[in-house]
Amino acid sequence: MTSGLQIAVIGGGPAGLMAAQALVDAGACVHLFDAMPSIGRKFLLAGKGGLNLTHSEGADAFAGRFGARRVEIEKLLKDFGPAQLREWAHALGIPTFVGSSGRVFPTDMKAAPLLRAWLQRLRHPAQGQGVLFHMRHRWTGWVDGPSHTLSFETPLGPVQVHAPAVVLALGGGSWARLGSNGAWVPLLAARGVAVAPLLPANCGFNVENGWSEHFCSRFAGAPLKSVAITVTSSQGVVFSRRGEFVVTATGVEGSLVYAASSGLRDDIIRSGRATFSLDLLPDLSAQRVLKEVSHPRGSRSLSSHLKSRLHLEGVKMGLLHELLDKEALADPVRLAAALKALPVTLTAARPIDEAISSAGGVLFEVLTPGLMLEQLPGVFCAGEMLDWEAPTGGYLLTACFASGRRAGLAAFAYLQEKMATDARQ
């Protein structure tokens, strides 16, 4: 089958939907294709525990969350940042609020009502034709020849679609079962597009040599609360934050580990291992901890002593026994030092499909300011398939929305210019 249309959007996540909205609001005829049976599956999963749309912190701090790609993402955020995102949600009838941590949520905390309202608007805009959705269409690249003919696999067989402009919003490499499997990487690489390898981001890690069977059987799944970690990367970058994380059967995961994951992952890639320093008692000074540890304990066991003097027990006590030898446990100075800076060594990130998000993707260096591929005129990229990463906290979604909008508007401008050029010839 061959059909004619103005602009195709491939990918039904936040970036693709926002590109489609920018296009349809501008008056374009938009066809959106997605490999899955329904739209926004990863978006819905992200909102399962409460949809964190964006963050309320200042613009400078917000942009700083994007690390090495701050400059590129900041340009996108100037057009569509946290404030505009909240206004957009309100226009859909979804009010938002700022939580105690500064994160922004819909008042009902749910993703489904927002997605329903959004799809209703896309299908039935105030003016013009709505977006036409084509589900179970898995993009397989371009037909040999002009890059404007797209190829799809569908339950009814191969389909070819001619599109003078296309926005690719194909996601990263995490959560393959929800559609983000990175299958697009070889398709773009075959066309000479520079793509950084997809890597796990906001991910867990395996500890060196694994946990002992005794520790794992007792504490796998146990949360480490009210702790702090410090990471000094091989590049001299220092990360230090309080929070909590979880002991897993193979290592560690959870919000505090995710926040430090980019540096830990990169150090493992460079040298095969990474170490973070764990403060089990961040509310107490090193001097206070040493005083309490050095207090005579008489006939009490070490566990009873530390529970009595420092309220230390459970998984925190288990970690001490797991990571320190008998000599260190018996030496008050070494033990006190470990309580404030227990080294935890990691040797591998967990597989990318377990990660919340991914790093790597299409390099900004091969994109125009409108996110069009310089080697493939009329092909635009948006969302997590671009080479950037960010911590959880609303930053991922905000950048996806912003890049989708930029790509959609640029694709419309490209099509208008192309039509004008064709008319003059």
Find the helix or strand (DSSP H, E) in which 353 lies. Answer: none
23's tokens:
């296009």
Return per-residue pLDDT of the chain as tens, 425 residues: 344 458 999 999 999 999 999 999 999 999 999 999 999 998 998 888 899 999 999 999 999 999 999 999 999 999 999 999 999 999 999 999 999 999 999 999 999 999 999 999 999 998 888 999 999 999 999 987 656 899 999 999 999 999 999 999 999 999 888 888 999 999 999 999 999 999 999 999 999 999 999 999 999 999 999 999 999 987 788 999 999 999 999 999 999 999 999 999 999 999 999 999 999 999 999 999 999 999 998 889 999 999 999 999 999 999 999 999 999 999 999 999 999 999 999 999 999 999 999 999 999 999 999 999 999 999 999 999 999 999 999 999 999 999 999 999 999 999 999 888 878 87
Measure the CA–CA gap between 129 and 246, rounded to whole angstroms: 49
CB distance 9 to 31 below 8 Å: yes
**Would you give the distance in Å from CA 356 to the centre of its chain?**
6
Which domains does the chain possess? 2-199+357-424 (3.50.50.60), 205-349 (no CATH)
> What pTM was estimated for this model as a whole?
0.92
How far separated are the first and last CA of the chain, in Å rounded? 29
Nearest Cα residue to 405 out of 68, 84, 113, 72: 84
Burial of 169 (0-12, 13-18, 19+ CB in 10 A): buried
